[in-house]
Chains A and B, each alone.
Chain A
Amino acid sequence: QKEVEQNSGPLSVPEGAIASLNCTYSDRVSQSFFWYRQYSGKSPELIMSIYSNGDKEDGRFTAQLNKASQYVSLLIRDSQPSDSATYLCAVNFGGQFYFGTGTSLTVIP
């Protein structure tokens, strides 16, 4: 059973703070990991992909991967109200994506 788990939230942070989103997965073989943002009523939008252990930074977003702990996280620095959305973690198992249930983030002005 391939499992991807996220805290459903909701997670609330004040504007300008760092939002930290976490994801764990069950399969040690997985090699690629993705974070998507989904606004209500819209389809997911790719934010970050990460393939190797460590940190990957892109603007205000940093993805962190620890394969030994089967853990991937997303940090959002200087959070903005426009970052309020559901964030989906996706793990590639054998060419298919399996999604977590998503974490709802609200950035409070």
Chain B
Amino acid sequence: GAVVSQHPSRVICKSGTSVKIECRSLDFQATTMFWYRQFPKQSLMLMATSNEGSKATYEQGVEKDKFLINHASLTLSTLTVTSAHPEDSSFYICSARTRTGSMEQFFGPGTRLTVL
């Protein structure tokens, strides 16, 4: 149980284009999903917290107009990197928390974004 998927697993795009990453909870309903970014040899950095049906809460320093988050249902959240630039190249990982009240987060496999 508690499986989270992400798609795509890897994406390469040109500078200036937009990229959408999907995060799905496969066998549970996730009221809250989280988006993280991880640069090489660094720890996970929380970008935003996404609650179903409401606007995402962004961490300080994360541009909400650049990183668009939509949590349309209890099993799907999307992150769109708009007008991507090479410095946006990173490992993007989503996680989800179940509705049971447990604080545990289950992570998706991550999306490796490379912006040329």
Contacts and interface: CB of A to CB of B under 8 A. Distances in A.
Q: Is the interface of A mostly helix, strand, loop or mixed?
A: strand
Contacts of B49: 95-96
B44 A88 contact: yes
A99 interface: yes
Interface residues of B, number: 17
Interface size classification for chain A? 20 to 34
Interface in A77-93: 88, 90, 92
Interface-central residue, A34, A44, A46, A98, by most chain B CB under 10 Å: A44
A97 B107 contact: no
B106 A46 contact: yes
Contact of B42 (A97, A98, A101): A101
Contacts of B42: 101
B115 interface: no
A42 B9 CA distance: 11
A46 B4 CA distance: 13
Interface of A: 32, 34, 36, 42-46, 49, 88, 90, 92, 95-102
